[in-house]
Structure formats: structure tokens, C-alpha cells
Copies of this chain bind each other. A is one copy, B any other.
């Protein structure tokens, strides 16, 4: 039996890359000198695409590949895929939910704790010898504070569970009230006004563009902290810069930005922010599991088995 042909647009970890190449006739796009030409050369053969959120899967590409049956993305988000175009052609789409929820929640906690307790500042404080001249300014304690989670999905719930262990109260905002013990705010401005820390873990996409604007930041207030592990589009970035510069809010922890990896210079010169290079799920363990899921979905498809994590279009 001939192996199905898979176009790999993204790098998996070495073990999973090896597995992919063993199980399929794999065209590794990022190893090619001229990717466009490679796609042209193999357009009749490509039956599957293994990809991730940095590679846009547009209608034009799908139309150019007449035998494409499945797109398996190494991400939860699917904003980079034209789902309508996939539906028209009956191309299956799979993603990697669940497996990265805990890691991304951990990243949110890392950011919250780091900005409230001044961890990165503290590490530099020691390294540049400032400690000889006295103690660092005091941090802020999570215990007893209200954490407002925007988007109480899988990741949001993992964030909530961790924040509870730190003695925080939990509130959330989202489209619908859920059957949970946390306080629901249908109005985001009201939640921002009440909470001490606001954590963004909602999906990206057109529905949440600039959800956090200058009004929300004003409501969050001068003692409030903003944490974003969602997408850069969810925050009005110039408004956030102005709010941090003007003391409208106390600080921010950001794993995502509007034009990654181009982080605005204004953030870089601030010491009341912690900036991370989109490490949401970036652990060896989770990336291994995600890569395996990308492969397993493709394999299931060609073996005629049910897909493990299909995106409903």
C-alpha cells in the first residue's frame, strides 16, 4: 500500500518529525529552497497538511491542491485556516485542544505571579548587584484578590483552578453563564471594575478584536493587572501602552502581541510588564503530545477511523 502524501509546513520535535516521515510520504516544506515551487510540483499528490498557526491556509492554496483531504493543525486556534473554503471542499480539519490547556494555564499563572511579585525584575536586581544597595520594592499578594477570567473555556477553567490554590476569588466573563461556582459577569466593564487581576483566555478572531480597550483598562484601575495568554488582537495595544505609561493600570503580563514577534518598543522599556515570546504551550512534554496528536489525526483519517479531535465547521 502506498503511503499517503503529507505536506509538513511546520517543524515538529525531532521524535515526532521522524515518526511523521516514517509513516507518510512527507514533503517537508521548511526544508525546501523554493516552497512555492515545491507545492506546485506535488500539488496532485498532497492529500494532507500538517501545519500550525503561523502558516495561513487560504482558499487559494486549498484550490491548488485537488486531492487535499485533511488539514491537521498543531494549535488550538484555527483563525489561520479558511474554514469556509475547507467546508466547501469537504476537507477535514483537526486541531490540538485539551492537550495544551494546562500548559497555557501555567503560562498565565507564570505571568500573573511574575508581574505581581516582580520576579523578572528581582532576578535582574540580583544579577546587576542592586541588592547590595537595599531591598527591592514590595510586590503584591494574590491571596484574597479577585481574578476575572475572560473566556472560561478549557484553558480558563485550568487557570481558575490554579488561582483558587493561591487563595484568589474567581469571576468570569463570556458569552454564556456556565454551571460553575464562580461569579458570572455578562458585562466586561463591570467585571474589570470589580477584579484585581484580569486574565484573557478567550479565543482570538473577529469577535474578540479590541475587546479590552481604554474603557476596560480604566475600569480595571491603578491597582489592577492585565494578563493575556489569548491572542494579541483581543487587546487594543496602543490603549494598553498608554494605560501602562499613565498608571491607569498597575501592570501587565503578556504572552501574545498584535504583530509577533514585533513587540512595541514602548513595552520593552517598561518595568511594570513581563513579556514572553508566545510560550503558551512551549514545553517539551506538551509539544511532544501535540505533535503526536497532529500525526494521529492524519493516520486515523487514512485508516478510515474516527478523527481524534476534529474541528466542527
Contact = CB atoms under 8 A, between A and B. Distances in A.
Contacts of A283: 116-117, 138-141
Nearest to A140: B283
A51 to B, nearest CB: 16
Contacts of A277: 122, 125-126, 130-131, 135-136
Contacts of A260: 131
A292 to B, nearest CB: 15
Interface residues of A, number: 54
A103 interface: yes
B141 A284 contact: yes
B162 A285 contact: no
A132 to B, nearest CB: 5
Given A119-B114, A119-B120, A131 B279 contact: no
Interface string A104-125: 0011011101101111101111
A259 to B, nearest CB: 11
6 contacts: A102-B166, A106-B142, A116-B283, A119-B274, A141-B283, A143-B285
Interface in A228-274: 260-263, 268, 274
A111 B285 CA distance: 20
Given A106-B166, A117-B106, A136 B279 contact: yes
Given A162-B165, A166-B162, A275-B123, A141 B110 contact: no
B106 A114 contact: no
A102 B141 contact: yes
Nearest to A105: B166
B126 A275 contact: yes
B141 A106 contact: yes
Contacts of A165: 161-162, 164-165
Interface in A133-170: 135-136, 138-144, 161-162, 164-167
A286 interface: yes
A114 B125 contact: no
A120 to B, nearest CB: 4
A198 B53 CA distance: 36
A307 interface: no
A248 to B, nearest CB: 20
Contact of A143 (B102, B125, B127, B139): B102
A311 interface: no
Q: Among A113, A268, A274, which residue has the most Cβ atoms of chain B within 10 A?
A: A113
